[in-house]
Amino acid sequence: MKIADINCKTALSKSNLPGLDYSLNPYRGCQHSCAYCYVPNVLRIKREDWGNFVEIKTNIANILANELRNKKPGVVGISTVTDPYQPIEKKYKLTRYCLEQLLKYDFPIHVQTKSNLILRDIDLISRFEDIEVMFSIGTLNDSERKLLEPNASSIQERLNAIKQISENGVKTSIFFGPIYPSLKIQDIYETIDVFKAAGASEIMIDNFNLKPGIKENIELKVKKNSDFSKLFSEKIFSQSEFYNTIRENIHAIGKNKKICVIDAF
């Protein structure tokens, strides 16, 4: 893993994502190495390099402090490109330092992560007037998770973190996506129950975004598991109606179980 210190010129960038006014990314590059990540396509980084480097924006908290004095209040999305709680955050604490600055002005915050490291900052998170913490979970099967999200927290660790955060009075939600092809319609009932039990008040759902290179990368990661590989070929890589069918059922079952379900895009 190549680690490099860099200086950034700006901290807050205008966001075009629904519900977000600004984006904040303390790091460039991500250690989680998710096989389906589309960020290399967005940043025009070679896919084989993704997951093998992280650039540390060492001055981002100072830049942010200066920007907040003049910025119009708006929702700040933390993790629009890279996970703010990837393993290296434990050492550098850039996300924590940025939260400290944002708290001074009490900007609305939306944090998305796959890491239970976020529990370290619950003392800050619980003090925001308007904050939402969203955990990304694409499957409840941790063996499958290990194949495609090798360096992220386990599914149970994420669920435990959601529960602890929600018990501290913070709004929590699940980004149920990309939904793995192993999900069956009958599994949706239990999955939603698990999410609700963890304290999630909302579920956002999404499919695999097969930008150039992603299909090949997933095939490489799952080839040792023939059954899982076959599921991807039949339900994700083909013109299958898998996601549309699953989507319709999640919406219907979510309505029945009285939890808000929304589409990502």
Tens-place pLDDT, residues 154-197 = 999 999 999 999 999 999 999 999 999 999 999 999 999 999 99
* Nearest Cα residue to 203 out of 192, 214, 194, 188: 192
Q: Tally helices (H) and strands (E) across the chain.
A: 11, 11
Per-residue confidence (pLDDT) for residue 16, from 0 to 100: 87
Taken in order 154, 160, 165, 169, the sign of the CA dihedral is positive
Confidence of residue 28 (pLDDT cuts 50, 70, 90): very high
- CA separation, residue 198 to residues 69, 85, 130 (Å): 37, 20, 20
Residue 47 reports pLDDT greater than 80: no
Per-residue confidence (pLDDT) for residue 110, from 0 to 100: 97
Task: Give the residue-averaged pLDDT of 45-73.
Answer: 91
Residue 40 reports pLDDT greater than 90: no
The predicted model scores a pTM of: 0.94
Per-residue confidence (pLDDT) for residue 218, from 0 to 100: 95
Per-residue confidence (pLDDT) for residue 162, from 0 to 100: 97
Tens-place pLDDT, residues 78-133 = 988 899 999 999 999 999 999 999 999 999 999 999 999 999 999 999 999 999 99
Least confident of 43-47, 57-61, 240-244, 252-256: 43-47
Per-residue confidence (pLDDT) for residue 79, from 0 to 100: 86
CATH of the domain at 197: 3.80.30.30
What is the side-by-side order of every strand in the sheet holding 202-205? Answer: 12-14, 22-24, 76-78, 109-113, 131-136, 171-176, 202-205, 260-263
- CA separation, residue 182 to residues 45, 153, 179 (Å): 30, 20, 8
Domain count, the chain: 1
Per-residue confidence (pLDDT) for residue 51, from 0 to 100: 75
Q: Provide the token pair at 251.
A: 């919406």
Structural domain including 209 reads 2-263
Task: Give the residue-averaged pLDDT of 189-216.
Answer: 95
Percent of the chain surpassing pLDDT 70 = 100
What is the greatest pairwise CA distance in the chain? 55
Per-residue confidence (pLDDT) for residue 137, from 0 to 100: 98
